[in-house]
Amino acid sequence: MFLTGEFSKIARVSKRSLQYYDEIGLLKPAYTDAQSGYRYYSARQLPRLNRILALKELGLTLQQIARMLEDDISEDEIRGMLLMQKSQLEQSLMQDLQRFRRIELLLQHPTEQAPDVVLKSVPAQRFLSMRTHISSLQTGWELILYMVRTLAQFAETRSINHFIAITHAETLTDDDIDVEFGFVLEENIDSPITISEDYDLTLNELPAVPTMATLVHLGGPATTNLAYGALGMWLEANNYGFTGPQREVFIEFPFPANDEDIVIEIQFPVKPMHNHDLLLSALPD
Amino acid sequence: MFLTGEFSKIARVSKRSLQYYDEIGLLKPAYTDAQSGYRYYSARQLPRLNRILALKELGLTLQQIARMLEDDISEDEIRGMLLMQKSQLEQSLMQDLQRFRRIELLLQHPTEQAPDVVLKSVPAQRFLSMRTHISSLQTGWELILYMVRTLAQFAETRSINHFIAITHAETLTDDDIDVEFGFVLEENIDSPITISEDYDLTLNELPAVPTMATLVHLGGPATTNLAYGALGMWLEANNYGFTGPQREVFIEFPFPANDEDIVIEIQFPVKPMHNHDLLLSALPD
DNA sequence: TTGCTCCTCACGTCACGTGAGGTGGC
DNA sequence: TTGCTCCTCACGTCACGTGAGGTGGC
């Protein structure tokens, strides 16, 4: 029989760990002196302790390990837990690999130049909008100004969130752009709504996007192309591909439009282009 | 200006996170109402928030991020932090990959058959021992019994730890085995010590082993070969190679020797045989 | 005025590390 | 008897999630 200190030296585990395993019932000493509280471990407990350590090395939590060491566990349940852990490790590997590559990329470029692209998931939203074709970005911009101005009073009486511009054209040509403008709503509304003789707004749903690459841009339309370029390079370098129409969310858009005060979030629905399954099979050794 | 709730929706961060970033000074609201405590964020704070999120995605801690966003930081310091994180990610990748493979191995074999091999680092120890050649394992066993018995009374007067047997022979042949037997001491001792007419014990140092593969075995010499086999298979499957002589640590060794009560820890100094540098360069994409 | 949002505690998470303060065995 | 070891609290870790309980603005 060994006291905590001796046993910890033999097994090369900290005393605190042994105490903790006792506390959570994972490994009780063979005998505990009721009066002094001294723990006495037997050499025969080493196999159990080593199994605990071996399982811990696989990244399992102590709770999971405790379950795996119970008597009434089936081989199937054990396999299930191992399979779960395996897929979690795979997740973690992919994430770390992404991070690793992003850091490599950052190291190649001055930090100030790197755009702060953030991936988010975006839920479906109620979207009160109109869709049309325009012949130039300039036309589009004027249409945006017109709509926002016209809808200003409407916005005051309804709960309106942000103004969003969507570019549907897959290939951007300068003289025919398929665009959609509108507002995100929280409440339900009878649609369509006529805002002028020329334009009707209809209510539809902006689809949810599981992976949206976003980049905030400070400034008006004159400089947004810079942000687009940076985002595009980021996506290419990190091996993401487009999966849907891009969005521009006007977060701050004062009247009269002062370019310096405009804050836009550029959004691209994306998906990773690398082949995950390929990775683990391609590893050396 | 946006309240916490609105800002959290725009940036798709939880309110609690914004509160926490405020609390630790990472991102203070543009304005905080002194009386109500209400936080007001400006759209112009989105770039900073997104930089925080982008850096968080790299696995940096909020403390590190806070440092990176300070004004007086140099490009070199930033590079240093990124390089550190890069190497940590590499560590983490290697570890997860090991775990992943070990689980794959476990899944191929019934759980009960898998030996609980544990890797530890072992420090250098004072070793009072004798070294000799023996002609069979049986001879070695008898010598061990003799030594342990002879040193029993010695052990009572000195602080003696465990009895350890080391096999130096690189190729085990049945008729010429180079072995070393002795005790680990904690105190210093004048060496050599004569324990009988035939044997002198000398004090030397058991070298430290950074990576020791260990396996606990219950039972006497008749069954240790099973443990050796299991350990060998584990090492091969996990791609470890031997780097030094094997040890047997007698953790429990009663008199008279009752095989069932013997507890031995088998130790192999090992090192990983896979090429780490190769891994990251061999990845697809 | 009624809701909705905001706020500030404060506990819980996970597996211990690290003292503080006190007792027990050789 | 003096040290050394043991013990039990109990806080700290990291980045929030999750209520509880209470106030403020439209």
Residue A41 tokens, joined: 């471990």
Is residue B237 less than 8 Å (CB to CB) from chain A? no
Q: How far off is chain B from A63, nearest CA to CA, in Å?
A: 18
Contact in structure between A115 and A215 (CB atoms under 8 Å) = yes
Q: Could you check: is the Cβ of residue A14 within 7 Å of any atom of nucleic acid strand C?
A: yes
Residue B29 has what pLDDT? 96
Mean pLDDT value across residues A5-18: 95
The pTM of the full predicted model, rounded to 2 decimals, is 0.88
Q: How far apart are CA A29 and CA A27, in angstroms?
A: 6
Q: Which residues of B, range 51-70, sit inside 8 Å of A by Cβ?
A: 51, 53-54, 57-59
Per the model's pLDDT, the better-predicted residue between B175 and B37 turns out to be B37
Q: Could you check: is the Cβ of residue A6 within 7 Å of any atom of nucleic acid strand D?
A: yes
Q: Which residue is nearest to nucleotide C6 (CA to C1')?
A: B38
Q: Which nucleotides of C are covered by protein (CB under 7 A)?
A: 5-8, 14-18, 23-25
Q: Between chains, do A47 and B122 touch, taking CB under 8 Å as contact?
A: no
Residue A67 has what pLDDT? 96
pLDDT category of residue A199 using cuts at 50, 70 and 90: confident
Q: Looking at A114-123, A247-256, A276-285, which range is the least confident one?
A: A276-285
Mean pLDDT value across residues B25-39: 94
Q: How far apart are CA B64 and CA B73, in angstroms?
A: 12
Residue A285 has what pLDDT? 47
* Residues of chain B with C-beta less than 8 angstroms from the C-beta of A12: 120-122
* Residues of chain A with C-beta less than 8 angstroms from the C-beta of B91: none
Choose among A12, A44, A118: nearest Cβ to B120: A12
Return the residue of A nearest to B86 by Cα.
Answer: A100
Residue A160 has what pLDDT? 57
Residue B135 has what pLDDT? 83
Q: Between chains, do B251 and A10 touch, taking CB under 8 Å as contact?
A: yes
Q: Which nucleotides of D are covered by protein (CB under 7 A)?
A: 5-8, 14-18, 24-25
Return the residue of B nearest to A282 by Cα.
Answer: B283
Residue B169 has what pLDDT? 72
Return the residue of B nearest to A82 by Cα.
Answer: B103
DSSP chain B: -EEHHHHHHHHT--HHHHHHHHHTTSS--SEE-TTT--EEE-GGGHHHHHHHHHHHHTT--HHHHHHHTSTT--HHHHHHHHHHHHHHHHHHHHHHHHHHHHHHHHHHS-GGGS---EEEEE--EEEEEEEEEES-HHHHHHHHHHHHHHTHHHHHHS-EEEEEEEE--SS-BTTBEEEEEEEEESS---S-EESSSS-EEEEEEEPPEEEEEEEEEES-TTTHHHHHHHHHHHHHHTTEEE-S-EEEEEEE--SS--GGG-EEEEEEEEEE-S-HHHHHHH---
Choose among A43, A75, A120: nearest Cβ to B251: A43
Cα three-residue angle B201-B187-A19, rounded to 5 degrees: 120
Choose among A47, A106, A216: nearest Cβ to B46: A216
Q: Which residues of B, range 170-199, sit inside 8 Å of A by Cβ?
A: none
Contact in structure between A211 and A270 (CB atoms under 8 Å) = yes
Q: Which residues of B, range 252-281, sit inside 8 Å of A by Cβ?
A: 252, 263, 265, 274-275, 278-280
Q: B164-178: buried (b, 16+ CB within 10 Å) or exposed (e) per residue? A: bbbbeeeeeeeeebe
Q: Which sign does the torsion angle of CA B245, B249, B253, B258 carry?
A: negative
Is residue B116 less than 8 Å (CB to CB) from chain A? yes
Is residue A106 less than 8 Å (CB to CB) from chain B? yes
Residue A126 has what pLDDT? 87
Q: What pLDDT, in 10s, does the model give residues A219-228?
A: 888 888 899 9
Q: What are the Cα distances from residue B12, in Å, to A250, B38, B46, B233?
A: 15, 19, 11, 50
B 59-88: CB within 7 Å of strand D: 61-63
Per the model's pLDDT, the better-predicted residue between B48 and A203 turns out to be B48
Å between A62 CA and C13 C1'? 14
Å between B22 CA and D21 C1'? 22
Q: Between chains, do B103 and A93 touch, taking CB under 8 Å as contact?
A: no
pLDDT category of residue B202 using cuts at 50, 70 and 90: confident
Q: Which residues of A, range 72-101, sit inside 8 Å of B by Cβ?
A: 75, 78-79, 82-83, 85-86, 89-90, 92-93, 96-97, 99-100
Phi, psi for residue A128 in degrees, rounded to 5:
-95, 110
Q: What pLDDT, in 10s, does the model give residues A69-78?
A: 999 999 999 9
Q: What pLDDT, in 10s, does the model give residues A14-33?
A: 999 999 999 999 999 999 99
Mean pLDDT value across residues B251-275: 84
Count how many residues are written for chain A: 285
Mean pLDDT value across residues A181-195: 72
- A153-157, A266-270, B234-238, range with greatest mean pLDDT: A266-270
Contact in structure between B267 and B206 (CB atoms under 8 Å) = no
Per the model's pLDDT, the better-predicted residue between A148 and A98 turns out to be A98
Q: What are the Cα distances from residue B110, in Å, to A82, A88, A137, B115, B282?
A: 12, 21, 66, 11, 32
Residue A169 has what pLDDT? 73
Q: How far apart are CA B103 and CA A58, in angstroms?
A: 7
Mean pLDDT value across residues A231-236: 92
Q: How far apart are CA A111 and CA B188, in angstroms?
A: 57
Q: Is 80 exceeded by the pLDDT of residue A99? A: yes
Q: How far off is chain B from A204, nearest CA to CA, in Å?
A: 21
